[in-house]
Amino acid sequence: MNITITQIIDRFTATPIGHNELSLLPTHEDGSLTVTGLASLDEAQNGDLTFAENLDRLKELKHSLAVAAFVPLSALEMLSQDHCQTILIPVKNPQACFLELLTEFRQPPRTGMVGIDPRAIISPSARIGHDCTIYPNVFIDAQAVIGDRCVLHPGVTIGPGCQLGNDVTLYPHVVLYAQSVLGDRVTIHAHAVIGADGFGYRFEAGAFQKLPHMGSVQIDHDVEIGACTTIDRAMIGKTIIGTGTKIDNLVMVAHNCQVGRHNVYASQVGLAGSVTTGDYVRMGGQSGIKDHIRVGNQVSISACSGLMHDVEDGQTVIGQPAGPEKTQKKILMSVQRLPEMRDQLKALARRIELLEKQNSPSSEPIVKAA
């Protein structure tokens, strides 16, 4: 795929500046230059379009071989004063514009397959929607309902009574236990497990007795779940993943959790049982939340943090145990100074000991040499 600079200008309604520091109009000679590929700023070569999303990255454009670059509108005045061989195209969101074109330049290969492979095993009582693609070795159990335009890759297992909305994609070896419900446009990556029993046991008569988990999992619209992630069914009721939430690989969501809308969890996050989160909660990698904790809206939990108490709306927490960012940073800075503070404390202790000896009635007077 090729596209000219003029076509990019028209499409994204930008006002670029060129290497002669003049406004680049669609009729300018540079407007006919062709973009033949897209690449990151570090890897861009002749003919590539790239992007710089912040002022730090803008400095690197002076040395870039890219034919053109999306840059922030806020930097237009600064950039117009700098000599740059790359044609600069100021837009509101450089990364978004770049990604929009990237999806067109690098569309994933299509198999051409639409329909049900005869090697799939589908219960007679299951219902399959229109225009679905079901690959070999998919297993769909009794009373399952599959919406329209769903894509089920090889090895997917869908338990009895599961319900899938429209435009759902399940990658190889995804497992949905019984009664799991997925909304529209849900994507689940390879080897994720939805609806397994929660980790619930009662210690009785010298042994752990398993507690029955008779609930289900509900995943709302536009959720994406990473590879090897596990979301347990509720003991009673539902484990819920809210609309628009994005979950990375290797994340654990325990039974009866209620995850709000548009949460974002990085890899190796863990939620213990019955955690409730608000909307727009962000969790960094390897962070975790204790059971029965309530997290407010727009809370950020830093990577490797361990949350042990409820958090109100809008807070950022870090550390183990996690606390308010401002306080925890002071603690961290103090910890880094511990060796120095230890030496100071020892010196003070010696001075105090000397003063106590000088002021003691039984001590000999100290006579200084002339």
Rounded Cα distance, 286 and 251, in Å? 9
Tokens for 72, please give them: 């922030």
Q: How far is CA 103 from CA 62, 106, 243, in A?
A: 27, 5, 23
Rounded Cα distance, 25 and 19, in Å? 13
Partners of residue 240 on adjacent β-strands: 218, 258
For the chain, how many helices (H) and strands (E)? 6, 39
3-state secondary structure 132-154: CEECCCCEECCCCEECCCCEECC
Q: Which of 235, 228, 236 is nearest to 252 (CA)?
A: 228
Rounded Cα distance, 60 and 50, in Å? 11
Q: Classify residue 63 by its DSSP letter.
A: G
Q: Is 189 a catalytic residue?
A: no
Contacts of 152 by beta carbon, 8 Å cutoff, 6+ apart: 120, 132, 133, 134, 135, 138, 140, 146, 158, 170
Region class of 98: left (phi > 0), else alpha (psi between -120 and 50), else beta: alpha
Catalytic annotation, pick one of 255, 262, 292, 309: 255
Q: How many residues does the chain have?
A: 370
Please, how many CA atoms are within 13 Å of residue 342, restricted to the half-sphere of its CB?
A: 5
Catalytic residue numbers read: 255
